Structure 1
Amino acid sequence: MKYAFPDNFWWGSASSALQTEGTREGETTWDYWFAREPNRFHNGVGPQHTSTFYQHWKTDIQLLKQLNHNSFRTSISWARLIPDGIGEVNPDAVDFYNQVIDELNEQDITPFITLFHFDMPMAMQEIGGWENRDVVDAYARYAQICFELFGDRVLHWFTFNEPIVPVEGGYLYDFHYPNVVDFRRAATVAYHTVLAHAKAVQAYRAGHYAGEIGIVLNLTPSYPRSQNPADVKAAHVADLMFNRSFLDPVLRGEYPADLVALLKSYDQLPACKPEDGFLIAEGKIDLLGINYYQPRRVKCRDSAVNPQAPFMPEWFFDSYEMPGRKMNPYRGWEIYEPGIYDILVNLRDNYGNPRCFISENGMGVENEQRFIENGQINDQYRIEFISEHLAWLHKGISEGCNCLGYHMWTFIDNWSWCNAYKNRYGFIQLDLKTQKRTIKKSGEWFAATALNNSFEKE
């Protein structure tokens, strides 16, 4: 069967500044944390060991062209542009980002630019990070500077990438710095992130720039174990906390009333100001990026909560392992292709069918050199992963969902937070010692798919 996509469909991939550029002038939380706890990072590999985009941006963009990308998402590093977060703009950073943006446009690859992809300047974290409203204002200033510097050539902006992740990692589950376990502080960080997003949107609209502004959310559909009311309620709470806590403010301009009521009943609401509601309503977006990797399967709790334990989302649900599920054993994630369709249908039916695109989808595999044949990684498993997801995406589009593109994570194997280079995701293999780039089988398949705006599948 042939799967053909709409005209002007965005074919591309996504990356981020911190994961690709290498060392920078301003220290981030990642640099600080790695210097103190290198044991937390796979094989002790830190954020200075990236895919050297800062040096190789021109040849890397040529490779994007070779893979027939018509669009590419990366981020600007706040710490590179404004090393202390609030002071002088670094002219070298301006030159670098100007060159990258100009070269992308020159090659007919539309730049999609994210303002914040987990890389808080350490100077901002030292005054409380997203717990401090002064940092919200500093971010809004940084966003405005970016719009002024690059807004004439960047027509697709994103305020945040996966804003729930620093909340989960840094303030709930101890997998990002500052390694706090405290729900109320987590809720404050999430709330201030929404305020920062809304201030950036406000600034963008005030500047009357030619493009559009959105946000990238990692949406994980919550599937109940059964239709038993207790399981359904558990899935609903998981959805409120992990999806709708950001989805509703950016698409509807307000928080779900039942989420607010739930947190209020446990005394976990962040401190709010009267004018915040107006600001959040101003933060409604033009374009939603959707990162989809895995579903969330939940059931009601079958044991009592320890009242002495920290308040956590898991007070309301347990995770559930669906029998017969398909797994990516390297990442420990379930592969569930229909989830991408379910997300689009939910947006169509419950959120007014917003303009959206798949901004990340990907498969990390360990020791990919096992699959080298004739000097090339034969990653047929990745081709199958992409084509299965695209088939469900195609179904959503054919049923009226307003999905405009598909970006894969990622372009070149890159450094991935605490996992470093444990799992490889790229269309292009990176040799860490030599920095040599070699296109994988999946890269060739994607290039053909993008060129034809279609693919065939049995």
Structure 2
Amino acid sequence: MSMLTRRHLLRRAALSATAATPAGPALGAAATPAGATLGAAATAAGATALTGCRSEDPVERAEPAARLLFPPDFGWGAATSAYQIEGAAKEDGRGESVWDTFSRTPGRTRNGDTGDVAADHYHRYAEDLDLMRDLGLRSYRFSISWPRIQPDGTGAANQRGLDFYRRLVDGLHERGIAPMATLFHWDLPQTLQDAGGWESRDVAHRFADYAATVFAALGDRVPVWLTINEPKTVVQNGYLRGHHAPGRQDPDAAYLVAHHLQLAHGLAVQSLRADGSNGRIGPAFNLHPCYPADDSPAAAEAARLYDGYENRLYLDSAFHGSYPEDVLADLGPDSRLVRGIQDGDLEIISSPVDLLAVQYYTPIYVTGTGGTVRRWPTSEASWQQIYPDGMYDILTRVTRDYGPVPLTVTENGLPTPDVLGADGTVEDTGRVTFLRDHLAAAHRAIADGVPLESFHVWSLLDNFEWEEGYEQRWGLIYVDYPTQRRVFKRSAHWYRKVIADNAL
């Protein structure tokens, strides 16, 4: 890998949608993107040439003129992840994860926050299940903690860990809510990290063993399985910028990690097929539409390569059985990714799946020099630009480029400055606006032929937001951390009505 490519990778990670950028106007509790202007906008032709995206101003569609009805069996849901909500970090045989180590290291997280207690979901899951029922959820996407099942990442299952998820899944069925389980949402057992982590090819095989253990225990009760959550975030935030566990800044390692995460996905798919389960399975990718920041050929070329790293690296390998040639050329023939590919790997990675989980948060506008610029207001997460049309663009692009694979949106949301009022209410009107506009974009995609089956708000509960600790609140439900009291925010009441009406 050349020094130039190394610098470009580090800059890309620093400027990507998963990294902090200079904060622009933030979307507050009542703000909307309606006043935003595109400025030096990407042209529609340029965006379409690169990503099949449309760069129309979303303001005209901010308020749908007519009621938008969703398909009768649409799966309205919400999402969480184990380390962010469960707590009980040292209970019932759970082992250490990389996030336990990372968050307990001074200076790694805001205020030194950890997930040791989080939203205490491990003890309060029954209460949370009742809240899901009251919200009207039809689907709940959660993750299974690998170190709760295999404390050291290998060997026999910890029965107490399996029993917890069995109780959770049974409770969902009792309330008429379909479980959607994610096998890996970043909490790698620390013992495996000590043995090389995702840089080690062996860890992909250990993941397949873990997946087989979980399938054997829960496979008949979980209709949908997701394999790896956001491999790109592990690569960019964990191995390029270093502000997520394991906290590395090593471009040479980063894309070997990407390959092993993709390999782990494919091995888990094969494991489910071998188990004979009737469950459906697929990956969960966070996808960011990449637009040229202007109409120059240089911006178009840079946006194409940026899209390769952000989207095609994962989509092409999973659905076409190949890595993008432009990305491989940019990394160079001596990169650890290229040298790490073994015969048969891409056939495993592209094992047929039943669905694709799409997670959309922000667009990326790429300049001719490979940098990025902001075009829209940001949320409290300064990396997140509020652009609902990006939801439409990424959903239609996936269907056009990768075929009619069923899609589910498994994360979409934003943090807002939520405060529990004296009257016991939380007025998060900015979240209502955000969700309404993104759901309208999803509805438009369905009308244009996208096979979107369900939509999951991120997140059900306020929770531990990784390196931001507890500063950012993303939930439909407010969590008062000192007391663990739960309170429906305005957005939860709004979403409940959307679900009940099956319409915006």
Letter in 2 for 1:21: E
- CA distance in 1 between partners of 2:333 and 2:205 (Å): 30
Letter in 2 for 1:320: V
2:248 counterpart of 1:195: no
Match of 2:441? Answer: 392
Letter in 1 for 2:78: S
Match of 1:413? Answer: 462
1:289 aligned counterpart, secondary structure: strand
Tell me the alpha carbon deviations over residues 16-43 of structure 1, each in whole angstroms, 9 at most, x when there is no partner: 1111111142000111122332x22111
Match of 1:90? Answer: 158
Question: Is the 2:224–2:280 contact (alpha carbons within 8 Å) kept by the matching residues of 1?
Answer: yes
- CA distance in 2 between partners of 1:327 and 1:373 (Å): 28
Tell me the alpha carbon deviations over residues 124-158 of structure 1, each in whole angstroms, 9 at most, x when there is no partner: 00001111111111111000111110000001000
Tell me the alpha carbon deviations over residues 336-372 of structure 1, each in whole angstroms, 9 at most, x when there is no partner: 0000000111012111122101110011123x11x73
Letter in 1 for 2:466: W
Letter in 1 for 2:175: Q
- CA distance in 2 between partners of 1:332 and 1:14 (Å): 21
Task: Give the 3 Å change call, closer, same or farther, for CA 406–185 of structure 1 in structure 2.
Answer: same
Match of 1:19? Answer: 84
- CA distance in 1 between partners of 2:71 and 2:221 (Å): 25
Match of 1:353? Answer: 404
- CA distance in 1 between partners of 2:227 and 2:111 (Å): 32
Match of 1:29? Answer: 98
2:324 counterpart of 1:271: no
Question: Is the 1:118–1:161 contact (alpha carbons within 8 Å) kept by the matching residues of 2?
Answer: yes
- CA distance in 1 between partners of 2:279 and 2:105 (Å): 41
Question: Is the 2:416–2:430 contact (alpha carbons within 8 Å) kept by the matching residues of 1?
Answer: no
**Which of 161, 167, 182 pairs up with 1:99?**
167
**Which of 127, 131, 147 pairs up with 1:63?**
131
Tell me the alpha carbon deviations over residues 242-266 of structure 1, each in whole angstroms, 9 at most, x when there is no partner: 1111111222232223322332357
Letter in 2 for 1:355: P
- CA distance in 2 between partners of 1:330 and 1:225 (Å): 21
Letter in 1 for 2:97: T
2:223 counterpart of 1:170: no
In the TM superposition, what are the counterparts of 1:16-415 in structure 2 within 5 Å? 16-22=81-87, 23-24=89-90, 25-37=94-106, 39-264=107-332, 267=335, 269-282=338-351, 284-301=352-369, 317-322=370-375, 325-366=376-417, 368-369=418-419, 372=421, 374-415=423-464
Tell me the alpha carbon deviations over residues 267-321 of structure 1, each in whole angstroms, 9 at most, x when there is no partner: 4534221222332232x321111111111111121xxxxxxxxxxxxxxx11122
2:393 aligned counterpart, secondary structure: helix
Match of 1:304? Answer: none
- CA distance in 1 between partners of 2:346 and 2:280 (Å): 22
Tell me the alpha carbon deviations over residues 162-215 of structure 1, each in whole angstroms, 9 at most, x when there is no partner: 111111112111112332222221011000111111100011112221120011
Letter in 1 for 2:79: A
Letter in 2 for 1:451: A
- CA distance in 2 between partners of 1:21 and 1:327 (Å): 29
Question: Is the 2:380–2:472 contact (alpha carbons within 8 Å) kept by the matching residues of 1?
Answer: no
In the TM superposition, what are the counterparts of 1:411-450 in structure 2 within 5 Å? 411-450=460-499
Q: Which runs of 5+ in 2 are unaligned?
A: 1-65
- CA distance in 1 between partners of 2:104 and 2:411 (Å): 29
Which structure exhibits the higher relative contact order, with contacts defined as CA atoms closer than 8 Å and separated by 6 or more residues?
2
Relative to total residues, which structure has the larger strand share, 1 or 2? 1
**By how many angstroms is 1:332 displaced?**
4.3
Q: Which runs of 5+ in 1 are unaligned?
A: 302-316
1:334 aligned counterpart, secondary structure: coil
Match of 1:5? Answer: 70
Letter in 2 for 1:187: Y
**By how many angstroms is 1:49 displaced?**
2.8
Match of 1:308? Answer: none
| Moved beyond 6 Å, runs of 4+ | none
- CA distance in 2 between partners of 1:81 and 1:266 (Å): 37
Q: Note the aligned Cα RMSD (angstroms).
A: 1.4
Letter in 1 for 2:73: N
Stretch of structure 1 that moved more, 273-282 or 223-232:
273-282
Question: Is the 1:184–1:270 contact (alpha carbons within 8 Å) kept by the matching residues of 2?
Answer: no
Question: Is the 2:333–2:339 contact (alpha carbons within 8 Å) kept by the matching residues of 1?
Answer: no
- CA distance in 2 between partners of 1:372 and 1:292 (Å): 30
Stretch of structure 1 that moved more, 342-351 or 110-119:
342-351
Question: Is the 1:249–1:255 contact (alpha carbons within 8 Å) kept by the matching residues of 2?
Answer: yes
Tell me the alpha carbon deviations over residues 37-96 of structure 1, each in whole angstroms, 9 at most, x when there is no partner: 2x2211111110310110010110000000000000001100001101002211111111
Q: How many residues align?
A: 434
Letter in 1 for 2:362: Q
1:423 aligned counterpart, secondary structure: coil
2:350 aligned counterpart, secondary structure: helix
2:68 aligned counterpart, secondary structure: strand
- CA distance in 1 between partners of 2:207 and 2:328 (Å): 25
2:332 aligned counterpart, secondary structure: helix
